[in-house]
């Protein structure tokens, strides 16, 4: 009997908890206001040359309001990230980008429904500016299904 009640309680909590999934309707990504997006972290994982377009992309990423973190921080370890940012919970951390010489990783907090497209949109915009030019960018729009 107890397992049945625990399963029902868990189902009610998951569906009705306000922080489980923030539903965003018809949003354009990346979000234009950094205040709405939470904390975004930026990290250089390996040294980048000053004339490397990837360095320009990183610099553009920082101008979006991303917070630079040192290479000693493991951005995939939520306890380290929370301690370094002085937050008690991870819901304020929306995503991060790790720039390396051979790749760029866009990471996101899966607690938020819009974190993945926002994080990826920021990284893609930065790469467009770094590799194509200052006037370039990528815009993505999310439209939800009516059901």
Tens digits of per-residue pLDDT, 87-135?
A: 656 667 888 899 988 889 888 888 877 788 888 888 888 999 999 998 8
Residues 6 or more apart whose Cβ sits within 8 Å of residue 83: none
Contact 64, 137 (CB under 8 A): no
Burial class of residue 141 in the structure, from the number of CB atoms within 10 Å of its CB (0-12 exposed, 13-18 middle, 19+ buried): exposed
Q: In terms of pLDDT, which residue wins out, 6 or 30?
A: 30
CA angle 31, 33, 38 (to 5 degrees): 80
30-73 pLDDT per residue, tens: 766 655 567 888 898 888 888 899 999 999 988 888 888 888 88
Q: Which of 106, 100, 22 is nearest to 64 (CA)?
A: 106
pLDDT at 22 over 70: no
Query: pTM above the 0.95 mark?
Result: no
- Bridge-based pairing of strands 27-29 and 140-142 is antiparallel
Q: In terms of pLDDT, which residue wins out, 147 or 138?
A: 138
pLDDT at 85 over 60: yes
Q: Which of 16-20, 87-91, 138-142 has the highest mean pLDDT?
A: 138-142
């Amino acid at each position: 009997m107890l397992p049945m009640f625990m399963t029902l309680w868990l189902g009610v909590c998951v569906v009705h908890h306000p922080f489980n999934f923030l539903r965003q309707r018809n949003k354009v990504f990346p979000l234009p206001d950094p205040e709405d997006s939470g904390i975004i972290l930026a990290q250089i994982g390996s040294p980048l040359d000053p004339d490397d377009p990837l360095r320009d992309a990183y610099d553009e990423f920082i101008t979006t309001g991303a917070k630079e973190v040192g290479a000693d921080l493991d951005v995939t370890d939520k306890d380290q990230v929370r301690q370094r940012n002085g937050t008690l919970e991870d819901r304020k951390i929306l995503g991060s980008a790790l720039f390396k010489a051979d790749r760029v990783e866009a990471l996101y907090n899966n607690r938020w429904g819009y974190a993945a497209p926002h994080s990826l949109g920021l990284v893609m915009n930065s790469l467009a500016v770094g590799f194509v030019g200052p006037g370039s960018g990528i815009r993505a729009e999310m439209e939800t299904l009516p059901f």
